[in-house]
Amino acid sequence: MEADLIPARMVNEFVYCPRLFYLEWVEARFADNDDTRIGQQVHRRVDVEAGTAPLPEDGDLREARSVTLSSERLGVIAKLDLIEGSAGTVVPVDYKKGGPQSDGTPWPSDEVQVCLQALLLREHGYRCDHAELYYAATRQRVRVDLTAERVARTEDLVADARGIADRAVAPLPLVDSPKCPRCSLVGLCLPDETNALLARRDTPPRRLVPRDPDQRPVYVTEPGSFVGVRSGRLEITKDKEKIGSFRMLDVAQLAVFGRVQISTQALQQCFARDIPVLWLGPGGWLNGFAVGQPSKYVELRRRQTAVHAQGGAGLARRMIEGKILNCRTLLRRNARGDVTQVVASLKRLADQARQADNFSTLLGIEGAAARLYFAVFPSMLAPVAGDIAAEFSSLGRNRRPPLDPLNALLSFCYSMLTKDLVAVTLGVGLDPYLGVYHRSRYGRPALALDLAEEFRPLVADSVVIGLLNNAEIGEGDFLRRAGAVALTQSGRRSVLKAYERRLDTEIQHPLFGYRISYRRVLDLQARLLAATLVGELPEYKPMTTR
């Protein structure tokens, strides 16, 4: 089987950071930031094909832009920004957005990239004795001569990059490197977090996780509405009257409830921008979702499938342990009566969950913890929610359909949490259907439900308690039919507002020490799970608050 040709720009990444090279080239993961966008602007002119580029035997090459060359011998392919020719000699010119080093010399990674371009020209019969780098920030060209030593080093680096690419697991992150903060893949790579969990650094992690994105979910709850797209905006109409408009740039996901239609054009725009579209029933139950191209991170899916087939007991134990500990913390913080015995019992059950030797035992432990927790759940509610708390106490936890207002709120918030974790797992490259604790069956996003366990008390239960204690929702926000209880249209809107506020709440991360929102923690935990699945981290650590 022929080896893939490595793009010269990927060899540049390898010299800069072997892990960055692996993530982009082998795992096909990429993320934009301000630097990459500026680089795209700098390249606009040279990215347009222009000029003729005859082979040496066919005539003289004067000037050509955006020329692609490859070499099986070198094992490299490259798109040359600019080739200038004079007196039978050609010079490749590569455009860079920044400036050279302080002493005026090129950066090592840039030097290797442009050297490869010159070698590709030689491979195609052109006379080429040097290359040049154009640094846009300082508007200067820097010459790179093709000395024998430089050529040999460049070819050795290509071989080294190919060796790294053949590995099953990415190289470990750089330790305390100044390169990390401005790297576009820092939120995927998690260098300081990974190094901290592997005890490769003594100091606390820097806050390298990118700030929360500006994008937010768009919820369409109005029955009979229509979602279309116009001039780069999602537009929601009903009876041809506009009821909402959002820039596509600001949309993280599109969630539609019940009887809502979406145009083909809107779907295509969402898929082109990696915006997941999720369909939910009127009560919040996730009916399905759609995305564009599946993740190219094949190795992660392969490892996930293997762990799923083997049972994933170790991961499941930690997730349930985290859930029980978070339930315990929520009770300690909010209970208005004496729950000392329940808190102590939950601590024992969390310890037992971590040591459980089979799934039957783990299921039993989780069930016992849930019964204890929900039996005293009403103790966390203020007197203003007295009737709702009393009804829950008499019925207990129930679902599908909920039989009382508190259960309706819990089920709806759990559905929203599952919906968000489906979107997160898809973004990370995981398969949301292949779980490690919940049994996989048709239409069930088992892995999203797994990750939701530790976040139920942290996010969903906290939203419900806040809504009732602050009297943001009352009996008039529920509809009772044939013994079942559901949220009204206005009730759903109130819950969604409170839910989004909770996701935007910042906390101090218990493992890494920096402040981070729950919205970002969902993504962080999914990436830590992915790192555990591929063998980068020895064990999964759940998100627990003290």
Which pLDDT tens digit goes with each residue over 280-333? 887 778 888 888 877 777 778 888 888 888 877 789 999 999 999 999 999 999
Q: Is 536 annotated as a binding residue?
A: no
Which pLDDT tens digit goes with each residue over 125-181? 999 999 999 998 899 999 999 999 999 999 999 999 999 988 878 888 888 888 888
Residues 209 and 520: beta-carbon distance below 8 Å = yes
Residue 455 has pLDDT above 90, yes or no: yes
Would you state the pLDDT for residue 118?
94
Please give the average per-residue pLDDT across 231-248, as a whole number: 90
Residue 443 has pLDDT above 70, yes or no: no
Would you state the pLDDT for residue 467?
93
Compute the distance between CA of residue 472 and CA of residue 466 in angstroms, rounded to an integer: 8
Would you state the pLDDT for residue 33?
44
Compute the distance between CA of residue 203 and CA of residue 162 in angstroms, rounded to an integer: 33
Residue 45 has pLDDT above 60, yes or no: no
CATH code for residues 216-290: 3.100.10.20
**Domain-by-domain residue ranges, the chain?**
6-171, 173-210, 216-290, 298-533
Please give the average per-residue pLDDT across 254-278, as a whole number: 91
Rounded alpha-carbon distances, angstroms, from residue 3 to 19, 72, 74? 20, 9, 11
Residue 23 has pLDDT above 50, yes or no: yes
Please give the average per-residue pLDDT across 26-42, as a whole number: 57
User: Which tops the pLDDT comparison, 63 or 457?
Assistant: 457
**With bands split at pLDDT 50, 70 and 90, how would you rate the model's confidence at 210?**
low
Would you state the pLDDT for residue 50?
67
Q: What is the mean pLDDT of the chain?
A: 87
Would you state the pLDDT for residue 42?
46
Give the chain's radius of gyration (CA, Å): 28
| Percentage of the chain modeled with pLDDT above 70 | 93
Compute the distance between CA of residue 277 and CA of residue 416 in angstroms, rounded to an integer: 14
Compute the distance between CA of residue 480 and CA of residue 118 in angstroms, rounded to an integer: 75
Residue 480 has pLDDT above 60, yes or no: yes
Please give the average per-residue pLDDT across 327-346, as a whole number: 92
Compute the distance between CA of residue 254 and CA of residue 290 in angstroms, rounded to an integer: 10
Would you state the pLDDT for residue 97?
84
Compute the distance between CA of residue 341 and CA of residue 213 in angstroms, rounded to an integer: 42
Q: Is 366 annotated as a binding residue?
A: yes
Residue 37 has pLDDT above 60, yes or no: no
Domain at 298-533, CATH homologous superfamily:
CRISPR-associated endonuclease Cas1, C-terminal domain (1.20.120.920)
Judged by average pLDDT, the poorest of 38-47, 56-65, 294-303, 390-399 is 38-47
CA dihedral 208, 209, 212, 214 (to 10 degrees): 70
Which pLDDT tens digit goes with each residue over 483-533? 888 898 899 999 999 999 999 999 988 888 888 899 999 999 999 999 899
CATH code for residues 6-171: 3.90.320.10
- H-only helix segments in 335-473: 340-355, 359-375, 386-395, 405-428, 446-455, 462-469
Residues 20 and 171: beta-carbon distance below 8 Å = no
Beta strands in 110-232 (DSSP E): 130-135, 140-145, 216-220, 226-230
Would you state the pLDDT for residue 286?
84
**With bands split at pLDDT 50, 70 and 90, how would you rate the model's confidence at 30?**
low
Could you give phi then psi for residue 209, rounded to 5 degrees?
-60, 125
Token pair of 471 as six digits: 């009297």
Q: Is 453 annotated as a binding residue?
A: yes
